[in-house]
Structure 1
Amino acid sequence: MSLHRPGKGIPLEDEDASRLKFNEGLDSMSETQFALSISETNALLRNVRNRSNPPKSTVFSKTLEYVDQFTKMRDEGQLNDARRTLSKYNLHQFELPLLLNLLPANVDEAKTLIP
């Protein structure tokens, strides 16, 4: 089944994460753009909050509260090391943050959790 993009006559194909088939947003990301794990998002938002003029919006506060609740790695050095290590395995840019979010104990658990 194809979906149509609102306001445009271009049909969107069905996404299928198990086959790493995504619509243009995720597939068209450049090398300088990448998906973040929850822990990486937490680190980024904390850095923004610690600036001299942090955002004071409710959305920012609630987002930080959410990612803080589910963060598994708080040390930025560990996060960078983990991303660098996983990057060596030629993973799709969608899979890497999932592994950082889930932190599976072994390969079999990772294969079970991530299609």
Structure 2
Amino acid sequence: MSSGGGNQKSDGHVEEDAAECKFPKEFETNTCDALLTAEVYLLLEHRRQSNETKDEIEEMSEVFIKTLNYARRMSRFKNRETIRAVRAIFSEKHLHKFEVAQIANLCPENAEEAKALVPSLENKIEESELEEVLKDLQSKRTFQ
């Protein structure tokens, strides 16, 4: 018997598909969140600073340093207050945490671009509401 969608494995588990917001059950818990690149940067920078104070800077791996540098370059928001404000923009929007992280990390210019980058948004949010969110997001980037 076919599952109809073709995404179901023979063992009954649904195959992951970010375009349709299908994730492993662990990702759907309240204890798991999708981090913004800016949040990853803050966490890694905190770790770097605490290692620095312990004179362990030489022990940081090359992968850690490369990840820190990548997160620094790609971070759209520079401080905790801005990140909180960005999260607040999405608090009433009924979007999946993955969608929130993708929109905040990618900062699309308009609703059309957002829906192209995050296909699951297509029938989930009105275009005018998405445009408003993106405008708010852009203002957070501008005034930080």
Structure 1 residues 6-31: Cα deviation after superposition (integer angstroms, max 9, x where no partner): xxxx554222222211122322x32x
1:75-94 residue pairs with structure 2 within 5 A?
Answer: 75-94=79-98
Structure-2 separation of matches of 1:50 and 1:87: 31
For structure 2, list consecutive stretches of 5 or more residues without a partner in the other structure: 1-6, 120-144
Higher Cα radius of gyration = 2
Deviation at 1:105, TM superposition (A): 2.2
> What one-letter code is carried by the residue in structure 2 that aligns with 1:95?
E
Checking the alignment, whether the CA contact within 8 Å between 1:87 and 1:96 is kept in structure 2 is: no
Cross-structure match for 1:17: 18
Alignment equivalent of 1:70, drawn from 69, 74, 79: 74
1:34 and 2:33 aligned: yes
Structure-1 separation of matches of 2:111 and 2:13: 33
- The normalised TM-score by structure 1 is 0.77
For structure 1, list consecutive stretches of 5 or more residues without a partner in the other structure: 5-9
- The normalised TM-score by structure 2 is 0.63
Superposed structure 1 runs of 4+ greater than 6 Å apart: none
> What one-letter code is carried by the residue in structure 1 that aligns with 2:34?
A
Alignment RMSD = 2.2
Deviation at 1:101, TM superposition (A): 0.6
Structure-2 separation of matches of 1:56 and 1:17: 32
> What one-letter code is carried by the residue in structure 2 that aligns with 1:38?
T
Structure with the largest fraction of helix: 2
Structure-2 separation of matches of 1:49 and 1:21: 34
Cross-structure match for 2:132: none
Q: Count residues with an aligned counterpart.
A: 108
